[in-house]
Amino acid sequence: MAAVVVGSLTVPLSATAAIDEVNTTKLRQAVTVSGILQHERALQRIANNAGGTRAAGTPGFTASAAYVKARLTMAGYQVTEQPFEFEFYQEVTPATLSQVSPAPQNYETATFTYSGSGNIVGGLVAATNTVVPATPAPSSASGCAATDFAPASATEPQVALIQRGTCTFAIKTANAIAAGYDAVIIFNEGNPGRTELVEGTLGATVSVPVVGLSYADGAALYASVLAGPTTVAVKTEVIAETRTTVNIIADTRTGNKDKVIVVGAHLDSVLEGPGINDNGSGTATILETAIQMKKLKIQPRQQVRFAFWGAEKLGLLGSENYVASASDVDLAKIYANLNFDMLASPNYVRFVYDGDASADPSATAGPPGSAQIESIFNSYFAAKGLATEPTAFDGRSDYGPFIAVGIPAGGLFSGAEGLKTPEEAVTYGGTAGEAYDACYHQACDSITNLNTKAIDELGDAAVHAIMTLARSSTGFFEDGSRMAPRELQSVPASEFDYKGSSLVR
C-alpha cells in the first residue's frame, strides 16, 4: 500500500490508490495563515474601493484579477489572461408579486437570475402537469412540454404559473414565452426539501419577468386559478447586458506538460458583497501556494496550472469557458482538477468532495481517479487526528465542467448556507442549527468573516494535495497510470441541480 509522508507522520492511502509518498512539510510550513490573510486584506481593500463588490463585470473584479496577475508575475510565473464574454446580470430593485383579484394579497418573491424587466398586470394561467397537493413522487413536470401551456391571449397580458420539477427553469420559461405569456411565476415543488421560496437561474437573458414563489404561496395561487379568474401583478427591474471578464491562468515552468494538474478557485464575488470567504479564501490559498512553490524552487513532476476563474457566480462561466475552448488534445493532458471554493467559513466543517459517491449512492460520482483524490485529503486529515465529512458533487462549483468531460476532480469546502447539525457541532465545534457561513452571499462576507483555524487546517490539506499530485511519480490506478479511458469518465451536466450557486432546475 502506498503512503504519503506528512512531516513526521506517515499517511496511509486507500488500497486502490497508487500515489507515491510525498513529503509536503516544507511547502505546508511556507504557506501560512498570515500569508493567506495578506491576500485577503488586499481583496477587501479592492472591494472597499469598488462599491463593496468584486463581482464579474465590475471594477472590483477587474482590480482583483490585476492583483492576482501582478503577484503571480512578481513570483516568476508567465501569466495568461483568458477573456470571454458573458451575460452580466444585476437586479436593480427587488421583485414584487401580488394577487390583484379576487382577493388582494402580496407575496414574498425573488427575481430569477437572467429574468427580463417588466411591470405586468394580467390574468394568471396555470401550466398543466401541476401536482398540488405535492407528493414525494413522481416529481412535477409542469411546463416541461410546449403542450403544457394554452396559447396566451393575443390582446390581454397573461402570466404563466409553473411548478418546479423534472426539467430546468430555462426550459419551462422558454415554453411559456413561446406560448405568448408576458411573465412567469415558478413555485417550489412541495416535496421534502422543496418547499421554501425558490430562487434560480435561467442561464441566459429572457425577455419577460420571471420570479419565484414558495410551494405554499404557489399552491394558494393555483387554487385561486382553479376557482376562477385570477389577476396578478409582477414587477422586476434588472440590468442585463453583454460584458467581458477573464480567467487568470499561471503554469509552472517545469513539470510534464502532458500531465497537468489544474488547481482552481473562483475569483469573483456576488454583487451583494466582497466575497472574502466566498471565494477570497480559496483564491488567497492557491495564490499563496503558487508564490511559495516558486520561492522554494519546487520542481513538480506534473505541470501545475493555477486557475482563477471569472463569473462562477453566474453559473460556472469561467471554468465552462476554459473547458469548452480547450482542444480535445489539451483536455486529454489534464491529469486532475483540484477545486477550492470556501475554506474559511466561521462555523466550518472539513468537507471533502465524495469522489466515488460512497456516502450517498444516489449522488453523482466523479470520474475514475476522483476517489483517489478524496483519499489523499481523508488520509491527510486522519493522520492529523482530524475528522472529515463527505460532500457530494452537486454542480455548485468549478469542478463541474471538468468532471463533465471525464477529468478526475476533488477538493475541500468549509460550508455555505447549510445548517450545522448537532453531530457536526460535537465533532467540529461551533454552533448547531446555525449556518456554516451566516454571511454567505451577503455584504458581511468581509475580512471579519473568516475562521483562521479553518484556514490553517484546510489550507494545509489543500497544499498537501497539490504537492502530492504534483510530485507523485505514479498515478491513480492499479497499474500506476494516471488516466482512465475518456469514454468511461464523463458525467452529464444534466445530473446537476446547480450551476455555481444557482439552482437551474
**Treating both helix axes as pointing N-terminal to C-terminal, what angle do 370-383 and 452-471 enclose, rounded to 10 degrees?**
130
Q: Which of 121, 132, 276 is nearest to 209 (CA)?
A: 121
Residue in 213, 280, 265 with CA at minimum distance from that of residue 446: 280
Q: How far is CA 222 from CA 129, 146, 184, 195, 215, in A?
A: 12, 19, 13, 15, 10
Please compute, for residue 27, the number of CA atoms within 13 A of its CA located in the half-sphere on the CB side: 30
Active site residue 312: yes
Q: Report the distance separating Cα 325 and Cα 318, nearest Å.
A: 11
Number of neighbours of residue 223 by Cβ within 10 angstroms: 12
Exposure of 83 by Cβ count < 10 A (0-12 exposed, 13-18 middle, 19+ buried)? exposed
Distance CA 203, CA 500 (A): 11
| Closest-CA residue to 82 (of 325, 398, 332) | 325
2, 13 contact by CB (below 8 A): yes
Catalytic residue among 91, 288, 312, 374: 312
All cell numbers assigned to 199: 430562487
CA distance 97 to 78: 51
CA 12 to chain CA mean position, Å: 30
State which amino acid sits at residue 93. T
Catalytic residue list: 312
